[in-house]
Chain A
Amino acid sequence: MNAEGGLRRKGLKGLLLAGVTASFAGWRVAFAQRMNSGRLISLEDMVQPVVKGAKLLKQDVQIVAPVLADNGSLVPLQINVQSPMTDQDHVTHVYLLSQRNPVTQVAVFHFGPWNGRAEVNTRIRLAGTQDVVALARFSNGEFRFNQMEIIVTESACVDAS
């Protein structure tokens, strides 16, 4: 009876040790998965380096993207600008800006009347849930923009390996 009890105790000890090690391993994984990187910057700080005080309106620009993106390393995104795209009135640039990414200016697209339609489709990286701003510069020097919040469950810029 006595010897049997000792054996049982040993087994319990082993179980306890295994449990502690497992929880430590779990903690390390949790630590490696930081959800968001960088800090959120205001719309003014995002837009003003490009606009430089020119006229800015929130119209005629549309962003088509998933509201909830599972993988921040690959978010499909479409920018649609309403413009006749004639020689007199067309879009010259489209700036894609992000609120939280380490590099605010994701990309710049150059357009001209030869494009026929001011639309671009691409795939971007997002470091966490944030607002994305599409800023279009028109041939008369005016800027128009739109913003959209994209929820990202798994951020880019975080080492998963």
Chain B
Amino acid sequence: MSIARVQWPEKITTGDVVKVRMLIQHPMDTGYLQDFTGKVVPRNVIRLVTCTLGDKEVFRIEPSSGISANPFFEFFVRATSTAEFKVEWTDDKGVKRQHLQLFKV
């Protein structure tokens, strides 16, 4: 099951500045809210998101509880060559997940 979705334009030529849209499925519990039984839901927030293109780190995000549930990010990257795009994230529970997708130029 894929819990991240990454999207970019269909046709990319070398030198283009490409918009990358990224959506990660995560509850991003702040630790301030209660569930239906009145128990406080413990904080579970993504601490770090890294995006690598090939073997180069392209973008890094350090979110906090101030980012909405199912975090969405949109950023730009300059296309140089076909490479594997990798998104990695770590949350408060120590769960590490990653998503791979081929970045075709």
Is A131 an interface residue, CB under 8 A from the partner?
A: no
Chain B binding surface SS class? strand
Known: A115-B58, A115-B76, A159-B34. A73 touches B67 (CB 8 A): no
Given contacts A109-B75, A114-B77, A117-B76, contact A124 B67 (CB under 8 A): yes
Tell whether, in the assembled complex, residue B67 and residue A122 are in contact, meaning their CB atoms are under 8 Å apart.
yes
Most buried by B among A98, A108, A126: A108
Interface size classification for chain A: 20 to 34
CB <8 Å contact, A119 and B75: yes
Q: Given the complex of chains A and B, what is the CA–CA distance between A17 and B103 in angstroms?
A: 68
Task: Give residues 113-146 of A contacting B (CB, 8 Å).
Answer: 114-117, 119-126
Interface residues of A (CB under 8 A from B): 73-75, 78, 96, 98, 101-103, 105-112, 114-117, 119-126, 156-157, 159, 161
B62 cross-chain contacts in A, Cβ below 8 A = 107-108, 110
Q: Mark B56-68, 1 if CB is under 8 A from A, else 0.
A: 1011111111111
Which residues on the B side are within 8 Å of A124 (C-beta)? 66-68
Are A107 and B69 closer than 8 Å at their CB atoms? no
From residue A139, how far is it (CB to closest CB) to chain B in Å? 16
A123 to B58, CA, bound (A): 20
